[in-house]
Amino acid sequence: MTQDAASRWRPRVRERNAIGRGFAALTIVSTLLGIAVLVALLVDVFGDGGSQVDGHFLTSYPSRFPEDAGLRSALLGTLWLLVLTTIIAFPLGVGAAIYLEEYAPDTWLTRFIQLNIANLAGVPSVVYGLLGLGLFVRWFALGRSLLAGAMTMALLILPLIIVASREAIRAVPDSQREASYALGATKWQTVFRTVLPAAGGGILTGTILALARAIGETAPLITIGALTYIAFDPTGPMDLFTVLPIQIFNWVSLPQEGFSELAAGGIVILLIVLLLANSIALFVRFRLQRRFD
Partner 1 sequence: MEAGTAGTRRPDVALDLSANDSASANGPVKPDVLVTENLKFWYGSMMALSGISLNIPQHEVMAIIGPSGCGKSTYLRCLNRMNDLISSARVEGRVIFDGKNIYARNVDAVQMRRRIGMVFQKPNPFPKSIYDNIAYGPKVNGYRGSMDDLVEHSLRQAALWDEVKDDLKKSGLELSGGQQQRLCIARALAVEPDVILMDEPCSALDPIATTRIEDLIRELRENYTIVIVTHNMQQAARVSDRTAFFMLDEDGAGSLVEVDETQRLFTTPSDQRTEDYITGRFG
Q: Which is nearer to partner 1, 163 or 172 (CB)?
A: 172
Between residue 16 and residue 55, which ones bind partner 1 under the rule CB under 8 A? none
Q: Which is nearer to partner 1, 72 or 177 (CB)?
A: 177
Q: Which is nearer to partner 1, 16 or 291 (CB)?
A: 291
Rounded to a whole number of angstroms, the minimum distance from the CB of residue 97 to partner 1 is: 19
Determine contact, residues 208/168, Cβ cutoff 8 Å.
no
146-170 and 196-216 are packed helices; what angle lies between their axes, rounded to 10 degrees? 140
Q: Is 137 in the site for partner 1 (CB under 8 A)?
A: no
Q: Which is nearer to partner 1, 229 or 286 (CB)?
A: 286
Rounded to a whole number of angstroms, the minimum distance from the CB of residue 165 to partner 1 is: 18
Q: Bridge-partner residues for 145, per DSSP?
A: 240
Separation between Cα atoms, residue 55 and residue 51, nearest integer Å: 11
Separation between Cα atoms, residue 136 and residue 151, nearest integer Å: 8
Between residue 185 and residue 224, which ones bind partner 1 under the rule CB under 8 A? 185-186, 189, 193-194, 197-198
Rounded to a whole number of angstroms, the minimum distance from the CB of residue 187 to partner 1 is: 9
Q: Which is nearer to partner 1, 201 or 206 (CB)?
A: 201
Q: Which is nearer to partner 1, 27 or 107 (CB)?
A: 107
- Chain-centre distance for alpha carbon 203: 12
In terms of Cα–Cα distance, which of 116, 70, 58 is closest to 247?
A: 70
What is the three-class DSSP state of 100?
helix
Give the count of residues interacting with partner 1 (CB under 8 A).
24
Determine contact, residues 49/264, Cβ cutoff 8 Å.
yes
Rounded to a whole number of angstroms, the minimum distance from the CB of residue 185 to partner 1 is: 4
Between residue 252 and residue 291, which ones bind partner 1 under the rule CB under 8 A? 290-291
Rounded to a whole number of angstroms, the minimum distance from the CB of residue 177 to partner 1 is: 7
Between residue 76 and residue 115, which ones bind partner 1 under the rule CB under 8 A? 105-106
Rounded to a whole number of angstroms, the minimum distance from the CB of residue 115 to partner 1 is: 19
**Dihedral, 72, 73, 76, 77 alpha carbons, nearest 10:** -150
Query: Which residue pairs from 226-229 have beta carbons closer than 8 angstroms and sit at least 24 positions apart in sequence?
Result: 226/77, 226/144, 226/149, 227/144, 229/62
3-state secondary structure 176-228: HHHHHHHCCCCHHHHHHHHHHHHHHHHHHHHHHHHHHHHHHCCHHHHHHCCCC
Between residue 162 and residue 191, which ones bind partner 1 under the rule CB under 8 A? 173-186, 189
Q: Which is nearer to partner 1, 176 or 260 (CB)?
A: 176
Q: Which is nearer to partner 1, 71 or 100 (CB)?
A: 100
Rounded to a whole number of angstroms, the minimum distance from the CB of residue 194 to partner 1 is: 6
Residue type at 112? F
Rounded to a whole number of angstroms, the minimum distance from the CB of residue 199 to partner 1 is: 11
Please give the residue ranges that form the binding site for partner 1 (CB under 8 A).
Answer: 105-106, 173-186, 189, 193-194, 197-198, 290-292
